[in-house]
Amino acid sequence: DLWLVEDLESPDATPRKLEVRLGGPRTGRRSYQVPAASNVDSLSVDETGRASAVTVRGSLYWLTHRDGPARTISDTPGVRVRLPEMLGSGGQVAYVTDADGEDAVEIAYLPR
């Protein structure tokens, strides 16, 4: 809801509700799907060969090679993730991130 107070200095001023009607989906309001195939930066395959940690446009995802959903490992606006490396069979991946302003290595558990 959106409310408006006409005169902030008047003690008897009461807010009134503004009627706002939003239009249909416009180009600027629709979500934009990125064609991942042309935006893959790097990947690392797990030791079973059944899934990979994949970076697409600075975000890190867990993708199975057959079927199943893509799962987000790291996707923070304004933060770039790159160079994923699987850490053996422990269910973890290491990657480089600039979350704190400087490049650093982070380790995350893989979604299962």
pLDDT in tens, 24-76: 666 555 666 767 778 888 999 988 888 999 999 889 999 988 888 888 999 88
Give the residue with greater pLDDT, 97 vs 69: 97
Alpha carbon 17 to chain centroid, angstroms: 35
Residue with tokens 């059944």: 50
Residues sharing a CB contact under 8 Å with residue 34, sequence separation 6 or more, in sequence order: 56, 57
What pLDDT is attached to residue 60?
A: 92
Q: Provide the 3-class DSSP secondary structure of residue 16.
A: strand
Query: Degrees (nearest 5) of the Cα angle 23, 25, 31?
Result: 140
Pairing of strands 51-56, 92-97: unpaired
Domain boundaries, the chain: 33-109
Answer for the pair 16, 4: CB distance below 8 angstroms, yes or no: yes
Nearest to 61 by CA among 48, 77, 73: 73
